[in-house]
Chains A and B, each alone.
Chain A
Amino acid sequence: GAVVSQHPSRVICKSGTSVKIECRSLDFQATTMFWYRQFPKQSLMLMATSNEGSKATYEQGVEKDKFLINHASLTLSTLTVTSAHPEDSSFYICSASTSGYEQYFGPGTRLTVT
């Protein structure tokens, strides 16, 4: 089956620093990747949609300069949280999609900003 990996699974960083999260589709080429964040006991909130080779489309209220998304290839998308603050602490999940309806989720990255 289709597998999506995320790295790292957990990261702790200091306030003001930047952190990069990688999302890879391991056995298929993803035309589209999605980035979600999930606060404790809440649902997944879509942050942005990225297509390979083009700029990401951000959802309303998501700061594109703070959450930098790069979809460099059909198997890799990265999310960089710049100048992280404690309120950015969350669970970040990526998913990858081909041309159909299904999307395949990564295992998530838990970010803690101290």
Chain B
Amino acid sequence: AQKITQTQPGMFVQEKEAVTLDCTYDTSDPSYGLFWYKQPSSGEMIFLIYQGSYDQQNATEGRYSLNFQKARKSANLVISASQLGDSAMYFCAMREGGGGFKTIFGAGTRLFVKA
């Protein structure tokens, strides 16, 4: 069965510094996608970054990068140059197979950016 684990319930980071949010996953399907979402207090889910299981390079999107270590089954999110607006809940998620398959979410990590 697929599983996503986020072991950091809360993280603090100083503004302008980088922070890594941990995510490990478990699946027996060789084809899967890994996602990170940001959820501010408003509740909307904001897509940040995607990594496919067959992608050779780590995904990057602006200040976000995904440190994909397939053998370790980890997909950590790195946020560079943290901003106060980055304070939010962050969810790691995984989707197996192709379209139509369900996505499961980790428990989330609440990030606090300090001025």
Contact = CB atoms under 8 A, between A and B. Distances in A.
Q: Do A and B bind each other?
A: yes
Contacts, number: 59
B34 to A, nearest CB: 9
* Best-surrounded residue of A97, A100, A101, A110 (most CB of chain B within 10 A): A101
Interface in B80-97: 91, 95
A105 interface: yes
Interface of A: 31-32, 34, 38, 42-44, 46, 49, 51, 91, 93, 95, 97-105, 107-108, 110
| 7 closest Cβ pairs, A-B complex | A101-B33, A105-B45, A99-B99, A108-B43, A32-B100, A44-B105, A43-B105
25 contacts: A31-B99, A38-B43, A42-B108, A43-B105, A43-B107, A43-B108, A44-B45, A46-B103, A46-B104, A49-B100, A49-B102, A95-B45, A100-B98, A100-B99, A101-B33, A101-B52, A101-B98, A102-B47, A102-B50, A103-B103, A104-B47, A105-B37, A107-B42, A107-B44, A108-B43
